[in-house]
Amino acid sequence: GIIYGISDFGLSRDLGITRGEAKNYIDLYFSRYPKVKEYMDRMVQEAHETGKVRTMFGRQRELPDINSRNFNRRSFAERTAMNTPIQGTAADIIKLAMNQVEQKLEIP
C-alpha cells in the first residue's frame, strides 16, 4: 500500500502495529527508494496543477476533487493521482494484448 499512498494510520491498521512503527516502515521504504517518492510527489503536483493524470499511453483521468477543501475527498484524489498512472498503464497494456489475441483468434 505504500506506493499507493497509504497513511501510517492505514498501514498500522492493516499490519496490526503502532502508527509509529508504520511511519518508520514508510520512512524507511522512501529512504531506500527515493525515486519512488519523487515520482509520487510529481504525479500529485501535476494533478493539482491540471486536475487530471495520464497513463503512459495518454489515457487521462479527471480528478475533480484534487483541490477540494474537504480533506477526505482531496486525499482520495491524491491517492488516485499516484495510483492511476501505474495501474491505468497496466490496464492499457492488458487491453492492447487482449485486442491482439482476439485478432489472432479470428477465423478468416
Each domain of the chain, given as residue ranges in start order, spans 1-32, 37-108
Q: How many residues does the chain have?
A: 108
- Please give the torsion angle defined by the CA atoms of residues 36, 56, 73 and 65, in that order, rounded to the nearest 10 degrees: 130
Q: What's the whole-number mean pLDDT along residues 1-5?
A: 85
**pLDDT band at residue 108, thresholds of 50, 70 and 90?**
low
User: What class has domain 37-108?
Assistant: mainly alpha
Average pLDDT, the chain: 95
